[in-house]
Amino acid sequence: MNKKTIHIIRHGETAYNKTGRIQGQGIDASLNNQGRAQGTAFFETYQTLALDKIYVSALKRTKESVIHFINKGVPYESLTGLNEISWGDQEGKSFTPETEKRHFDVLGSWQKGDYDRVSPGGESPNQVMARQREALAHIMKQNHESEVLICMHGRAMRILLSWLLYDSLSKMESFEHTNLCRYQVNYDGNHFSLVASNDTRHLENIS
């Protein structure tokens, strides 16, 4: 495979993010005003990138986050493999003592290495990784694309970066993220390397 520069961003803020409700794959929320401002700030900072392609998930908050690049004429493709993890029956709910206990019980299992554990009705990290591998294989085989932007979701991003850089899901929690943060991963033809982590400098003027 040819060398490739990959910018990976999390989508901008939604009302669910602002109010602390779980979104996951089953909630197809739009960006709120803050999220749209974050998308604009990201575009204003990175509009000169020589992007060959943008990849988004099938959830509209990712496309909305990069709409200025798309309107500028950068081609894009939606891949369901980039969707957020499904949190099952937790999705759409606010954190209460009960839901928080269930949520962090699942996270605790993952931290102990049980990557097949699911939130009831949801997906496991291993299931997410399997569909991400297919999506990334598709992206990587596009040899004419040397610089791409991927817009995805918080937990999905953690899963992707962990297996991509460490061939393991054990590092998921080490990848901090905020809305519209940027990671950068470079591929030299043999290995992936991390260049930027949770970069939010483009958001400094967003209140």
3-state helix, strand, coil in the chain (%, to 5): 40, 20, 40
Domain that holds residue 158: 4-86+124-203
pLDDT at residue 93 in the model: 86
Q: What is the pLDDT confidence band of residue 99, given thresholds at 50, 70 and 90?
A: confident
pTM recorded for the entire structure = 0.96
115 found inside a domain: no
pLDDT at residue 33 in the model: 98
Tell whether the model's pLDDT for residue 198 goes beyond 80.
yes
Q: What is the CATH number of the domain that holds 36?
A: 3.40.50.1240
User: Do residues 85 and 110 lie in contact, with contact meaning Cβ atoms separated by under 8 Å?
Assistant: no
12 found inside a domain: yes
Tell whether the model's pLDDT for residue 1 goes beyond 80.
no
40 found inside a domain: yes
Please state, as a whole number, how many other Cβ atoms lie within 10 Å of the Cβ of residue 206: 16
Q: What is the mean pLDDT of residues 195-199?
A: 98
Distances from the Cα of 197 to the Cα of 8, 49, 159, 175, angstroms:
10, 18, 14, 8
117 found inside a domain: no
pLDDT tens-digit readout, 56-81: 999 999 999 999 999 999 999 999 99
Burial per residue of 108-135, b for 16 or more beta-carbon CB atoms within 10 angstroms, e otherwise: ebbeeeebebbbeebbbbebbbebbeeb
What total of structural domains would you count in the chain?
1
34 found inside a domain: yes
